[in-house]
Each structure stands twice: as structure tokens, then as C-alpha cells.
């Protein structure tokens, strides 16, 4: 194979605010891009606002207006952080001998088109991908480094929008898919994704590799590192590498994020066989040793589908695929051994329906939309559990198809 046969590597690099906080860090970032570009790597760069510029703009405009500012006007102000950053970064690249061109939402060929949900706009993906391929890809393929303002969008009729939390990551993921990039590199102030928040936990460890389906659990739990909305736009075929700006090298090890998320809302019957709910009640039932013993028994004797716990009761939802009678008797023995556990009850013949989709927690009234049609059609709900981007609903096994159809209809989903 000759050198001409080797296809150049294609990457999208996003620099977060901390990595662009001052002239020294901007210079370090520009040198890292230049070092990679000279190898022939095709690079597109997405930049956030420098340092705390967005926070400063937000506080200033809110104080100046007495808090009386609309979301449309606020977006126009907040976008200035990225619009300034993109210009400075392009100048730094040119100073390092890199041929470049920055994109601003005022440009006719601006690629990120959104709806008009100001302050939390949603990209119109088909238009974004088409415009990236039309306007950004030709530069990219020539080895010219396009620099795009992250976090910022523009409506079809030309109004400035912002993409909300994780907006610059969203921009990078959209570009990567449209450019068919080999990798996305997120340059931050951390060496990668850690096992715990270093601001809270001593000596957390770096995670070398993590799947998006696992990472979204951290996003749902409130971590500020990478946001759930941005993860929706990650292409499953394109890995993401999180590295620290301090190394000044785009090839440094970090955390690799693999896989992708289903962005479509869906509802399915998950049970392959009937399920059982086991309720154990008693004052102080939430003692760790009792809970541990009950969970251990449920996992050993069946498939544990979920549980709920409060001070007076613990409910285990288990599959009936093994020997439910033996499990029930062993749970009863645990009840008899602990004075805090006073009694147990069992409900058999349940099915569980899983409603899934990234960002369910941000959809107001969703539980009502699920439960109300069941109530109106006399379908009892025996349990509702929420987890990372999932809602589990337990209903009678004989009514599972009826319940599923009602839920899918209420959510605007087509039949299976």
C-alpha cells in the first residue's frame, strides 16, 4: 500500500471553556491542532466560550435588566461568548501556520439550524447534516480547519438560538456524523471521566472506557461533565475521547465513550414470563442488613426486575421464570428472622412494560400521559418505577397488550 492509499484520519475536536480560559491556554490548544494538522489529519474544531464568559454575560444581562429579559434576547447575548471565542481561536490557528476559516451564525452558510425553542433549542438534524456536508465538508477535505462556534444555533428565519446544557458537545456530535469523522475529542479540564466527582470524593480514578448507556446514568444523576441532551446526538459508530487540555496533545489517553443511545421514545412489553411483586412490611424494614438479605435472596432465586423502598415497606418485582414458590418461602423465612419485618404479601401474574427514551425526566406530565388512559380503561397499575431514561409500569399479565396499546396511543407511537 502506498502512502497515497492511506486515508487521512478525520477528527472533530471540541474545546471546553476551561481549556480556552486565557491566552496561554488558547495558544496551547492552537499548537495541539497545528501539530495534528501537519500530519495530514483532517480536523474540525468546535469552541466554547472562553472560561466563565457565559456565566459573566448571563449575570451581567440579568442584573442590568432586573431579570426582565426574554429568552430570545438572552440567547443573542449569550451567543456572544462563543462568537468571540471562534474568532480568537481562528486567529491563533493562523498564527501557528494553520489554514482555517471560522463559522458564525451570521454567515449564510452557517450549518447548525434549530427550532425556535430559545435557550434550549433543538437542532433540525436533516438540515444540519445537509449544510455541514455542503459548506463545512469541502474545507475539511482540503485540509482547511473549520472552526465552529459551539452551543449556538440559528432558526430557519435567521434568529440566534442557544442549545442549552451541553450545547457545544451537541455541535461536535452533529458535525462528526455529517463529516463521517473517525473520532470526537472533547478537551476539558479533567483527565477523563472519573469514578466519582473529585470535588466530593477523595482519590477518584479515571475510567478508561465507558458505554453511553452507562454514562447517561451519571448525566441523569446530576453530573455536570456531559449532559444527557448532548448524548442523544452521539453517533454509535463514532467513539468519543475525553482528554485534559494540560497535556497539549490531542493523542493523549483519556476516557473513551463508546456506543449510542436510542433517541426515539418507545414502549414495549419486556416480560417474557409473568412477574411477581413481593411486599415486605414492618417498622424499620429499611435496615441495611434486611434489605441486603432480601435483595440477595431475590437475585439468587429469580431475576430481580426492580424494587421500591421506604421506611415501612420494601417491594421486590421478580420474574416467575424459575421457582417462585421456593423463593417466596425463603423470603418468608427472612421475615420471620427479623422483628422489624412483620409480614409479607404477594401479587402474581404481572407483566411489565418499559417506556424508554433519552430525556424522559425532562418531559413534563409524562407519567400522567401514561397512567391516565389506563385509569380511564379500568387497567390497574401495580407499580411504576423510574430509572435512567426508562419508566417501568407493572400491570396484570392478561391485560398487557391492552395496556401497551393504550400507552403507545397516548404517547403518539405507532402500533408494534
| 181 shares a domain with 39 | yes
Domain-located, residue 91 = yes
| 61 shares a domain with 119 | yes
Q: Which of the listed residues 205, 233, 258 is the one where a domain comes to its end?
A: 258
Cell numbers 472533530 label which residue? 12
Residue 371 in 3-state DSSP?
Answer: helix
pLDDT given at position 365: 78
Q: Looking at residue 326, which CATH number applies to its domain? A: 3.30.2130.10
Rounded Cα–Cα distance for residues 274 and 253 (Å): 47
| 282 shares a domain with 403 | yes
pLDDT given at position 168: 96
Asked whether 265 and 411 are in contact (CB, 8 A), the reply is: yes
| 153 shares a domain with 248 | yes
Rounded Cα–Cα distance for residues 347 and 331 (Å): 14
Rounded Cα–Cα distance for residues 107 and 360 (Å): 35
Domain-located, residue 168 = yes
Of 79, 82, 357, 112, the closest CA to residue 228 belongs to: 357
| 277 shares a domain with 232 | no
pLDDT given at position 360: 65
Domain-located, residue 416 = no
| 123 shares a domain with 146 | yes
What residues contact residue 188 under an 8 Å CB cut-off, 6+ apart? 16, 18, 19, 225, 242, 243, 244, 245
Q: Which of the listed residues 209, 234, 258 is the one where a domain comes to its end?
A: 258
| Exposure of 142 in the CB half-sphere (CA atoms within 13 A) | 12
pLDDT in tens, the chain (416 residues): 445 567 899 999 999 999 999 999 999 999 999 999 999 999 999 999 999 999 999 999 999 999 899 999 999 999 999 999 999 999 999 999 999 999 999 999 999 999 999 999 999 999 999 999 999 999 999 999 999 999 999 999 999 999 998 899 999 999 999 999 999 999 998 888 888 877 778 888 899 999 987 887 666 554 556 777 888 899 999 999 999 999 999 999 999 999 987 656 788 888 788 989 999 999 888 889 999 999 999 888 788 888 889 888 999 998 887 677 888 999 999 999 999 999 999 999 999 898 877 666 666 777 888 899 999 999 999 988 876 677 889 999 999 999 999 999 988 876 55
pLDDT given at position 225: 67
Q: Which residues constitute the domain of residue 115?
A: 9-258
Pairing of strands 183-188, 10-15: parallel
Q: Is the dihedral of CA 398, 400, 405, 407 positive or negative?
A: positive
| 244 shares a domain with 310 | no
Q: How far, CA to CA in Å, does 165 sit from each of 152, 170, 274?
A: 11, 9, 41
Domain-located, residue 415 = no
Residue 62 in 3-state DSSP?
Answer: helix
Asked whether 319 and 366 are in contact (CB, 8 A), the reply is: no
Domain-located, residue 2 = no
Domain-located, residue 1 = no
| 172 shares a domain with 306 | no
Q: Looking at residue 168, which CATH number applies to its domain? A: 3.40.1160.10
Rounded Cα–Cα distance for residues 243 and 248 (Å): 10
| 335 shares a domain with 197 | no
* Number of domains observed in the structure of the chain: 2
| 248 shares a domain with 274 | no
pLDDT given at position 263: 59
| 299 shares a domain with 321 | yes
| 322 shares a domain with 283 | yes
What are the backbone dihedrals phi and psi of residue 399, each rounded to the nearest 5 degrees, phi first?
Answer: -105, 10
Amino acid at each position: 500500500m502506498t502512502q497515497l492509499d492511506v486515508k487521512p484520519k478525520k477528527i472533530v475536536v471540541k474545546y471546553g471553556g476551561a481549556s480556552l480560559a486565557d491566552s496561554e491556554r488558547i495558544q496551547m490548544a492552537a499548537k495541539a491542532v497545528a501539530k495534528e494538522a501537519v500530519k495530514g489529519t483532517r480536523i474540525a474544531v468546535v469552541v466554547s466560550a472562553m472560561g466563565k464568559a457565559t456565566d459573566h454575560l448571563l449575570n451581567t444581562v440579568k442584573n442590568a435588566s432586573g431579570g426582565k429579559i426574554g429568552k430570545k434576547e438572552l440567547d443573542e447575548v449569550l451567543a456572544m461568548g462563543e462568537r468571540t471565542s471562534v474568532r480568537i481561536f481562528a486567529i491563533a490557528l493562523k498564527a501557528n501556520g494553520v489554514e482555517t476559516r471560522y463559522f458564525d451564525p451570521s454567515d449564510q452558510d452557517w450549518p447548525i439550524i434549530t427550532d425556535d425553542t430559545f435557550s434550549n433549542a433543538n437542532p433540525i438534524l436533516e438540515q444540519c447534516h445537509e449544510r455541514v456536508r455542503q459548506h463545512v465538508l469541502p474545507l475539511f477535505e482540503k485540509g482547511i480547519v473549520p472552526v465552529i462556534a459551539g452551543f449556538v444555533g440559528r432558526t430557519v428565519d435567521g434568529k440566534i438560538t442557544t442549545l442549552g446544557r451541553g450545547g457545544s458537545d451537541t455541535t461536535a456530535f452533529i458535525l462528526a456524523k455529517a463529516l463521517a469523522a473517525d473520532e470526537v475529542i472533547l478537551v476539558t479540564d479533567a483527565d477523563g471521566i472519573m469514578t466519582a466527582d473529585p470535588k466530593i470524593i477523595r482519590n477518584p480514578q479515571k475510567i478508561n472506557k465507558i458505554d453511553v448507556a452507562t454514562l447517561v446514568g451519571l448525566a441523569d444523576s446530576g453530573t455536570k461533565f456531559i449532559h444527557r441532551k448532548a448524548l442523544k446526538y452521539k453517533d454509535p459508530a463514532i467513539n468519543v475521547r475525553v482528554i485534559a487540555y494540560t497535556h497539549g496533545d490531542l493523542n493523549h489517553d483519556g476516557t473513551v465513550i463508546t456506543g449510542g443511545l436510542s433517541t426515539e421514545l418507545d414502549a414495549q412489553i419486556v416480560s417474557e414470563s409473568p412477574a411477581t411483586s413481593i411486599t415486605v412490611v414492618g417498622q424499620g424494614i429499611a435496615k441495611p442488613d434486611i434489605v441486603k438479605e432480601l435483595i440477595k435472596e431475590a437475585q439468587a432465586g429469580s431475576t430481580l426486575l426492580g424494587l421500591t423502598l421506604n421506611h415501612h415497606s420494601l417491594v421486590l418485582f421478580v420474574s416467575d421464570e424459575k421457582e417462585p414458590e421456593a423463593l417466596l418461602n425463603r423470603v418468608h423465612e427472612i421475615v420471620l428472622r427479623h422483628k422489624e419485618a412483620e409480614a409479607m404479601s404477594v401479587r402474581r401474574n404481572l407483566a411489565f412494560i418499559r417506556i424508554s427514551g433519552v430525556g424522559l425526566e425532562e418531559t413534563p406530565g409524562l407519567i400522567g400521559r401514561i397512567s391516565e388512559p389506563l385509569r380511564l380503561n379500568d387497567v390497574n397499575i401495580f407499580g411504576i418505577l423510574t430509572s435512567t431514561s426508562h419508566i417501568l409500569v407493572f400491570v396484570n399479565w392478561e391485560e398487557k397488550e391492552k395496556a401497551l396499546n393504550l400507552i403507545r396511543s397516548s404517547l403518539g407511537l405507532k402500533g408494534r
